[in-house]
Amino acid sequence: MTIDRKTAPEFRTFDNINLIHPAHQKLDSGCNVFCFNSGDQELVRIEWIFENQRFDKNKPLLNVAVNTMLTEGTGTLTAAQIADKVDFYGAFLQVDYGYDQSQVTLYSLNKHLQHTLPVIKDILTDSIFPEKELETFIRNQQQKLQVSLQKNDFVARRAFNKALYGDSLYGLAADADSYKTLHRDDMLLHFKQMYQPSNCTIVIAGKIEPQILELITNTFNKDWVNPAEQPDISQPELRASAEHFYFIEKPEALQSAIRMGLPAINRNHPDFAALQVLNTVLGGYFGSRLMANIREDKGYTYGIGSGMSSLKYGGALFIATEVGADVCKAAVGEIEKELNLLQTELIPEDELSLVRNFLLGSLLGSLENVFSHADKFKNLYFAGLDYSYYDRYVETVKTVSAERLQELAKQYLNFNQFYKVIVGKY
Amino acid sequence: MVKFNRFTLDNGLRVLVHEDNTTPIAVLNILYDVGARDEDADQTGFAHLFEHLMFGGSVNIPSYDEPLQRVGGENNAFTSNDITNYYITLPAVNLETAFWLESDRMLSLAFSEKSLEVQRNVVIEEFKQRYLNQPYGDVWLKLRPMVYKKHPYQWATIGKEIKHIEDAKIEDVKAFFKKHYNPQNAIMVVGGDVKTEAIKQLSEKWFGPIPAGEKYHRNLPQEPEQHDERRSTVTAKVPLNDVYIAFQMGARLDESYYAAELISDILSRGNSSRLYRNLVKEKPLFSEVHAYMTGSLDKGMFVFEGKPLENVSIETAEAAIWEELERIKTELIPADELTKVKNKIESTMIFSEMALLDKAMNLASFELLGDADLLNHETEKYLAVTTEEIKTLSNQFFRRDNSSTLIYLAEKA
């Protein structure tokens, strides 16, 4: 049998995706619990998610330090004892600070949950940030920062965020001295205000049998008490800088990091999905125009991409790459060309249909397991959206016209309005 | 437990199928049994450069990525010192597109000069981005030749130097393809929302007609046992001093592999591990310190890496690491501590079953080791390790005359 290797096999597009919706309950403590019960493995991932408190530019690292040091000691457990317990039961305990929320995550086998949950309870109710551990934290973070500051892409990202977001959690660019503003008393107060049940959302994903759920809700219900004061989760207004161009010279750089873009819309805006399609055409996948031109045609870089961030109080569209120092100017020129092209010429239907299919496939491909379903939910929940968002998203990806994308390009992809950061040589 | 079915085509292609209907997607993973260790010493970095060229169009299909993206798929690949691995994730209903693309590039590449020229530049930029333009980025370029004097593990996958990549010719590319890229040297794993019968038919249809090619017989110089203490110091524009101590260890299939991994977990996994507890927290001598092993198919490396605090001398830092090594060599570890790292292994194994692509890659790797079903017996091998074995093996590994120490000194401004 001879087969036709020149012609692509038939393929299908699809109309909808099936997302698992969570079961919800509100505990007496005021904490909302969302459960995604699916999967064969006897395990769960539990996240305790807290809205960040208002940023104070005089104490810029407070949120980061309080979150990172949650594992460093409680009234009854030392940092070493916390680590011993978590590790002994084969669990994984993570703390993560984000731009809008900060969280504690526990990955645990169900059979060990009765031993691991009390540790989390202790952390969330009785962290004490011991002075000695704080010293260690500050010393090590200062050292790590020194290394990061030698990396051009790191420096570029900080400078870009600072330009777009100013003095806010989003624009945070700590230096060694910032760590001197950290004091244990402030941390204790911040902890008490922020890490309280009425400010907490619990998201559970995995095989959640009734007794597992009961174990979790009992642990975080009646005796987890809210303090009298509610946390202040408002944030200062974002102010972008007047200066749009930043060149940080590194005379010996072999490559320059380029980061450019502008404040844009977030997920709540009706144009967000359409702009995601445009972003994908520009730099959101391997076959994107930036990759095709600047990597695959010119060979200036190992990688270039564009992306969109969606935050509670804003969003951004940005392009990032590291290019050979000698071709930095040429690369910037090519980026400008690609932006202009999207404003002046309609995206050909062939390319657009490819991107439509790619995005729908990616959405499907992102549903690997029950954790992914929980992640999809979090995107919606913390933006105040419901599941109809994904219906609208799919509809937009399938139908947005080339004309509409050109209008968006004129609105959002003006090279002259971009903030531009270059670290290295230019 | 990762279940699978297995069959072999007449041309020697081994195919494994993992049915997982909890997801609407499918993955197709192809492992080629070729890595940087199979390169000539004067043509290093070639396996990895070749991986890039696999995306430059095949004999019947001018673009690899475009048709895959059109059906909603994504792909990537990586090269190690041992293997080259290509993978695709796509909606399961469109799986045939993956068969079409992968079989055509196993049949033959387009061997385009333009693609070679561009990918040479891309890889050179990758060389700069990951190895030269990063603080400490070139450490593996320096450490490998200290540990390996005979075996080709003495170079990194990116290659010894940029010149080797610049010099690559299209004839070399063709010869490399002929030697390594054929059904006999490949293992394919298909996983996700698929049925084994359908995969058999698709495999026969798309891969069946590919000629078997020549079997590559690997005959690499093996690294002799080390009996001399090796040491080197470099000064560079980095912010902090950095200490690396590498020891030779066994190959992946050695019985000692499981105890070795537990040793590295005892020393360095998680915040309860010895190095973190004693050298970062209790004494404080380091801002960070880690132990890990390369897990390579031939004789591997067991590596310690630590950045001392600014007021701590290199001598003190090194001595502190050796003190921990002496402890694990002379004192039996407490039973609880061994149970702890075993529990972690067990839960890691169960959590890894949540990730479809990981499962597919693991099946391919273990099939290369001899039998994919080994994957399902890993945990029991770890559980069988005793405290005595940990001590015995530590004594074998952590000898001065089995060590290669690389000191990275921060240049004072």
Domain ranges (residues) in chain A: 23-219, 245-424
% chain B with pLDDT above 70: 100
Class of domain A245-424: alpha beta
Q: Which residues contact B2 (CB under 8 A, 6 or more apart)?
A: B18, B353, B359, B362, B363, B375, B376
Q: Decide if pLDDT at B406 tops 80.
A: yes
CA angle in degrees (0–180, nearest 5) for A44-A47-A50: 170
**Contact B276/B289 with Cβ under 8 angstroms?**
yes
Q: What is the mean pLDDT of chain A?
A: 95
Write out the H or E segment, with its range, that includes residue A194. Answer: helix A184-194
Do the domains A23-219 and A245-424 sit in the same CATH topology, yes or no? Answer: yes
Contacts of A357 in chain B (CB under 8 A): 69-72
Q: What average pLDDT does range A227-235 have in this prediction?
A: 89
Instruction: Report the candidate in A168, A334, A157 with the shortest Cα–Cα distance to residue A248.
Output: A157
Of A18, A80, A151, the CB nearest to B134: A151
Kindly report the number of other CB atoms within 10 A of residue A218's CB atom.
Answer: 12
- Looking at residue A282, the DSSP 8-state letter turns out to be I
B130/A302 touch (CB, cutoff 8 Å), yes or no: yes
Q: Identify the pLDDT of residue A139.
A: 94
Location of structure tokens 């041992």:
B82
The pLDDT tens digits of the residues spanning A125-184 come to 999 999 999 999 999 999 999 999 999 999 999 999 999 999 999 999 999 999 999 999
> How far is it, in rounded angstroms, from Cα B128 to Cα B121?
11
CA distance A260 to A422: 8
- Pick the closest to residue B324 from B286, B284, B274, B289 (CA basis): B274
pLDDT in tens, A84-121: 999 999 999 999 999 999 999 999 999 999 999 999 99
Residues B28/A365, Cβ–Cβ less than 8 Å? no
How confident is the model over B242-289, as pLDDT tens digits? 999 999 999 999 999 999 999 999 999 999 999 999 999 999 999 999
Q: Is A56 exposed, middle or buried (0-12, 13-18, 19+ CB in 10 A)?
A: middle
A-chain residue closest to B354, CA distance: A369
Q: What is the mean pLDDT of residues B48-77?
A: 95
Asked whether the predicted pLDDT for residue B413 surpasses 80, the reply is no
Band of pLDDT at residue B366, cut at 50, 70 and 90: very high
DSSP per residue over B239-280, as a string?
SS-EEEEEEE---TTSTTHHHHHHHHHHHHSSTTSHIIIIII
pLDDT of residue B401: 97
Q: Do A5 and B60 touch (CB under 8 A)?
A: yes
CB contact under 8 A, B240 and A146: yes
pLDDT exceeding 90 applies to what percent of chain B?
94
Rounded Cα distance, B184 and A307, in Å: 41
Quick one: average pLDDT of A377-393? Answer: 96
pLDDT bracket for residue A39 (50, 70, 90): confident
Contact A14 B107 (CB under 8 A): no
- Burial of A267 (C-beta count, 10 Å sphere; 0-12/13-18/19+): buried
Nearest CA in chain A to B286: A140
Distance to chain B for A191, nearest Cα, Å: 22
pLDDT digits (tens, 9 = 90+) for B191-242: 999 999 999 999 999 999 999 999 999 999 999 999 999 999 999 989 999 9
Mean pLDDT of A190-209: 96
Give the pLDDT confidence score for residue A222 in this predicted structure: 78
ipTM of the complex: 0.91
Q: How many CA atoms lie within 13 A of A413 on its CB side?
A: 28
CA dist list (Å): B213 to A2, B176, B180: 19, 13, 9
Q: Min CA distance, A200 vs chain B (Å)?
A: 26
Give the CATH number of domain A23-219: 3.30.830.10
> Which chain B residue's Cα is nearest to A298?
B118
Tell me how far apart the alpha carbons of residues A363 and A76 are, in angstroms, rounded to a whole number: 45
In Å, how far is B222's CA from the nearest CA of chain A? 34
- For chain B, say whether A3 makes contact (Cβ under 8 Å): yes
**CB-based contacts of B219: which residues, under 8 Å, 6+ apart?**
none
Closest Cα in chain B to A137: B287
Whole-number pLDDT of residue A1: 62
- Shortest CB distance from B128 goes to which of A42, A149, A255? A255
Confidence (pLDDT) at B22: 86
- Mean pLDDT confidence for B101-118: 94
pLDDT tens digit sequence for A288-336: 999 999 999 999 999 999 999 999 999 999 999 999 999 999 999 999 9
Rounded CA-CA distance A328/A315 in Å is 27
Contact A147 B238 (CB under 8 A): yes
Q: Which of A113, A146, A360, A368 to mutate to test binding with chain B, by most B CBs within 10 Å of its CB?
A: A368
Residues forming a β-bridge with A152: none
Of A3, A302, A358, the CB nearest to B129: A302
- Nearest CB to A147: which of B22, B209, B240? B240
